[in-house]
């Protein structure tokens, strides 16, 4: 990767990191504090509102990690031992009788007095049912100690954790049947643009089907948000005001199509009248224009209207904002380096997020990287990040962000 200076071209553009930090700061200043107590079965995908503190040791007693024989090391002299009891998981054993061993199964409590477990593969059962061992024994062998995983009073999950199957299983292992979670974020999604028409209707001259709202509504639902589909904003100031006024109970108004300074920009006019509006020019491609403002106290994020631009800016900027509002601290997607399997000869003054995939260990990109092409994202497995002012040759290292990291 070769940095190339581009004097005078980056100064007017806001770096991606700066835009993200501004959004995260604004999100942290407006946290969603309302909580719900829900059964575990309803907590998948939700955000933990309170630290999960263990109220028991896990495991609650020493247990066997193997099928085998529980032994007191001092009793093993090389002579076969009598099997004094059989211990299954879910049963309470008797103390181990002196000079004997106990048949024990995985997960069963280790009897008092035993200090190691010999796996059954290293045991020889004699004709008289006594047992000897073919491998040396050591104290603690194959015993899971009490509290190995967690102890009473330990913080197991921090507030702000996104709950998935593993986290819910962990909560269940601690005996929790309910958890305190942040209430769902309410997001209204609307579109602007005279050219937009709903799918299923016949196209008129110059019209295109509205795909962005479907992308965002589905995406937000995957994130666990409560989605309000606010439709396409009419080309009328009074109706725009009325539509926005009806969204006063949401946590965020998310628009696509952008906000301009033109006379026919009724969304922009309404925002300037009733709140505040900032137009950001970002050093990101696709997705240069981004809007942030408020309408009567409700935050508004305006994403660019081209489908690939909507995809990139929501994934890298709006999604982290929504997660931080719910208290999630780790909002950046996983990135990892891979060799480039393509040439990028022309440096740019914006950071590029190319739709690509990994083949034979190298990142390759879709042939058409136009911001209006959503098909590139359907083909892709992630974003290939090309830093500002750089060129790439085959084999140069680039960051790859899997779509699986951001699509939920």
pLDDT at 370: 87
Position 206 scores a pLDDT of: 85
| Gap between the Cα atoms of 253 and 274, Å rounded | 14
User: What pLDDT is attached to residue 306?
Assistant: 87
Residue with tokens 């965020």: 252
Provide the sign of the torsion angle of the four alpha carbons 32, 37, 38, 40, taken in this order: positive
Here the tokens at position 242 are: 């009325």
The pair of three-digit structure tokens given for residue 267, joined into one six-digit string? 């969304």
Q: Give dist(CA 66, CA 44) in Å, integer.
A: 32
Q: pLDDT for 72-99, tens place per residue?
A: 999 999 999 999 999 999 999 999 999 9
The CA-atom distances, in angstroms, between 75 and each of 70, 80, 132, 254 are: 11, 10, 12, 72
Contact between residue 396 and residue 13 where contact means Cβ atoms under 8 Å apart: no
Other beta carbons less than 10 A from residue 267's beta carbon: 27
Domain spans, the chain: 2-36+183-325, 37-57+149-182, 63-144, 336-405
Q: Distances in Å between the alpha carbon of 173 and those of 122, 140, 236, 295? A: 32, 24, 56, 45
Whether 24 and 331 have beta carbons less than 8 Å apart is answered as yes
The domain 37-57+149-182 having CATH identifier 3.40.50.720: the answer here is: no
Domain over 63-144 is classified CATH 2.170.190.11: yes
The rounded distance, in Å, linking the Cα atoms of 69 and 174 is 28
Buried b (16+ CB within 10 A) or exposed e, 176-210: beebbbbbbbbbbbbbbbeebbeeeeeeeeeeeeb
User: What integer pLDDT is reported at residue 2 of this predicted model?
Assistant: 45
CATH architecture assignment, domain 336-405? Beta Barrel (2.40)
Coil, helix or strand at residue 49: coil
Scored b (16 or more CB within 10 A) or e, 50-80 reads eebebeebbbeebbbbbbbbbbbeebbeeeb
352 φ/ψ sector (left φ>0, alpha ψ -120 to 50, else beta): beta
pLDDT of residue 178: 97
Residues of the chain with pLDDT under 50: 1-10
State whether residue 346 is helix, strand or coil. coil
On whether the 2-36+183-325 domain is CATH 3.40.50.300, my answer is no
The confidence score (pLDDT) of residue 5 equals 37
pLDDT at 261: 53
For the beta sheet containing 116-119, the strands, ordered from the edge strand earlier in sequence to the opposite edge, are 82-87, 100-104, 68-71, 116-119
Of 377, 247, 396, 260, the C-alpha closest to 312 is: 377
Give 392's DSSP letter.
Answer: B
* Those residues with Cβ within 8 angstroms of residue 99's Cβ, 6 or more apart along the chain or in another chain: 75, 81, 82
- What is the reported pTM? 0.86
pLDDT for the residue 263? 54
Fold match flag (2-36+183-325 vs 336-405): no
Q: What is the pLDDT of residues 325-359, one digit of tens each?
A: 999 999 999 999 999 999 999 999 999 999 999 99
- Hey, which bits of 115-236 come out as E strands? 116-119, 123-125, 131-133, 143-144, 155-157, 178-182, 186-191, 196-197, 208-209, 226-232
- Long-range contacts, 101-105 (Cβ 8 Å, 24+): 101/69, 101/70, 101/71, 101/75, 101/131, 102/69, 102/70, 103/69, 104/64, 104/67, 104/68, 104/69, 104/70, 105/64, 105/67
């Amino acid at each position: 990767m070769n940095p190339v200076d581009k004097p005078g071209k980056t100064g007017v553009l806001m770096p991606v990191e700066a835009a993200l930090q501004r959004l995260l700061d604004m999100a942290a200043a407006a946290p969603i504090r309302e909580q719900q107590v829900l059964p575990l079965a309803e907590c998948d995908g939700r955000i933990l509102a309170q630290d999960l503190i263990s109220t028991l040791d896990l495991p609650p007693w020493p247990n066997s990690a193997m099928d085998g024989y529980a032994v007191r090391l001092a009793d093993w002299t090389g002579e076969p031992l009598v099997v004094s009891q059989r211990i299954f998981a879910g049963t309470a054993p008797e103390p181990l009788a002196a000079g004997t061993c106990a048949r024990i199964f995985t997960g069963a409590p280790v009897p008092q007095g035993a200090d190691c477990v010999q796996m059954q593969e290293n045991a020889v059962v004699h004709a008289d049912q006594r047992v000897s061992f073919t491998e040396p024994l050591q104290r603690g062998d194959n015993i899971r100690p009490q509290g190995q995983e967690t102890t009473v009073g330990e913080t197991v999950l921090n507030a702000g954790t996104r709950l998935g199957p593993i986290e819910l299983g962990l909560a269940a292992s601690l005996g929790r049947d309910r958890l305190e979670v942040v209430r769902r974020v309410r997001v209204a999604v609307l579109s602007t643009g005279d050219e937009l028409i709903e799918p299923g209707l016949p196209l008129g001259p110059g019209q295109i089907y509205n795909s962005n709202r479907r992308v965002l509504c589905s995406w937000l639902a995957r994130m666990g948000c409560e989605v309000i589909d606010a439709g396409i904003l009419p080309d009328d100031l009074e109706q725009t005001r009325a539509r926005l006024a009806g969204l006063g109970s949401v946590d965020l108004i998310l628009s696509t199509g952008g906000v301009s300074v033109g006379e026919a920009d009724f969304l922009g006019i309404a925002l300037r009248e009733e709140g505040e509006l900032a137009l950001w020019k970002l050093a990101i491609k696709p997705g240069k224009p981004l809007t942030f403002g408020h309408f009567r106290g409700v935050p508004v994020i305006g994403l660019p209207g081209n489908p690939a631009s909507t995809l990139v800016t929501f994934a890298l900027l709006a999604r982290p904002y929504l997660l931080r509002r719910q208290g999630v601290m780790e909002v950046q997607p996983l990135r990892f380096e891979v060799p480039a399997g393509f040439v990028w000869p022309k440096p740019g003054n914006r950071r590029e997020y190319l739709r690509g995939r990994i083949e034979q260990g190298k990142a390759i990109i879709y042939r058409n990287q136009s911001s209006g092409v959503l098909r590139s994202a359907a083909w892709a497995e992630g974003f290939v990040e090309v830093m500002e002012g750089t060129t790439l040759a085959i084999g140069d290292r680039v960051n790859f962000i899997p779509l699986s990291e951001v699509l939920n």
